[in-house]
Homo-oligomer: A and B are copies of this chain.
């Protein structure tokens, strides 16, 4: 596991005499901006995405095994389809990719009612609000899909929600997270990116942010660590239980 070089110290932990109270620097009291992925991170939608892509590809007579699709979820379809089709030795035009994406969107839309929040996701966002943390959501998904998936979360109006339409280049490029940081008026490199896939963590590395991985998208701990995760938790609820490890005091 990579560690981000956070140093801890305890002043005057032995005895009470002669302690000089050192005023905390302002930065130590501030809460780092938190930039969250959506699919697999806040909602348990990765497996439904896999099935929707698989079905859409089959309608176009393209056979891809589920695990290969799974390992690309979190990248934009526009970016992962050419990669996977190149492996199959197939070339596709932009028009074909748009057509597959359109079929996929129709199939996925029908699966949305089955999709649940990840354990602890709502609690985590409520804690962010309670402690006044600057936070935002950044995803490659389209606006209509994001709106559907965020139903039930009661996202405050001032929280930026960056979708595929808001950036020219989708994940694993850092643009979505960088745009989210800009909307918050914070520095991308001071932020913590929270995501379930190596693509989120790659984006975090490119923008010099800390990356925190969640297992609830179905990647292994080792894959997230290898992609640069500073810490890996099971799901948003598990992250919340350990939130002090990110230098955040929740109470």
Contacts and interface: CB of A to CB of B under 8 A. Distances in A.
A interface: dominant SS:
helix
A47 interface: yes
Contacts of A119: 65
Contacts of A226: 222
Interface stretch (A13-21, A152-160, A212-220, A243-251): A212-220
Contact of A223 (B50, B63, B114, B220): B220
A108 B55 CA distance: 17
Interface in A97-136: 114, 116, 118-119
A222 B226 CA distance: 10
A9 interface: no
Interface of A: 44, 46-47, 50-51, 54-55, 63, 65-67, 70, 114, 116, 118-119, 215-220, 222-223, 226, 235
A118 B65 contact: yes
Contacts of A116: 63, 65
Contacts of A215: 67
B47 A217 contact: no
Contacts of A222: 220, 222-223, 226
A66 B111 CA distance: 14
A65 B235 contact: yes
A217 B46 contact: no
A173 B207 CA distance: 46
A67 B218 contact: yes
Given A222-B222, A222-B223, A223-B222, A217 B67 contact: yes
Contacts of A66: 44, 46-47, 218
A178 to B, nearest CB: 28
A240 to B, nearest CB: 15
A21 B184 CA distance: 76
Given A220-B219, A220-B220, A222-B222, A65 B44 contact: yes
Nearest to A119: B65
